Amino acid sequence: MFERLDNSKFRSSFHLKQKDIDYINEKGLDTIRQHAKDFIAKREAPAYIANDGKQTPMRGHPVFIAQHATATCCRECIRKWHKMQPGKELSQVQQDYLVDVIMTWIQKKSKGRNIKYEFEKCINYC
């Protein structure tokens, strides 16, 4: 799936900016994962979404960028790329899958860009 996304001109045009990296560093990956869970649960999981196709901003949070890059930004993209049918509430397993896709992309795209991982914090403070 990531190979197909990388081959999409639109999906591969999304990148994390330094301010996104800084935000990830400030909050930590565990918090970013929680943000992704919240966004998916509130904006993508319901069976019907009034503003579907417009519910995910194109900037303002690293998860939003990742959602567009991974086609987890609206139910139509989720249907097309991840084969989850609209009109039916997403199960917890489906939501967890989408969050894992988002977080995998964030970690992949931030590799070598000075991301502080939670275990590194623990080593310094535990």
The predicted-structure confidence for 100-110, as pLDDT tens digits, reads as follows 999 999 999 98
Q: What percentage of the chain has pLDDT greater than the value 70? A: 88
Query: What per-residue confidence (pLDDT) applies to 119?
Result: 40
Sign of CA dihedral 65, 67, 70, 74: negative
Rg (CA), the chain: 15
- Distance from C-alpha of 95 to C-alpha of 81, rounded to nearest angstrom: 14
Sign of CA dihedral 82, 84, 86, 89: negative
What pTM was computed for the model?
A: 0.85
The CA angle 40-15-25, to the nearest 5 degrees, is 75
Task: Output the average pLDDT for the chain.
Answer: 89
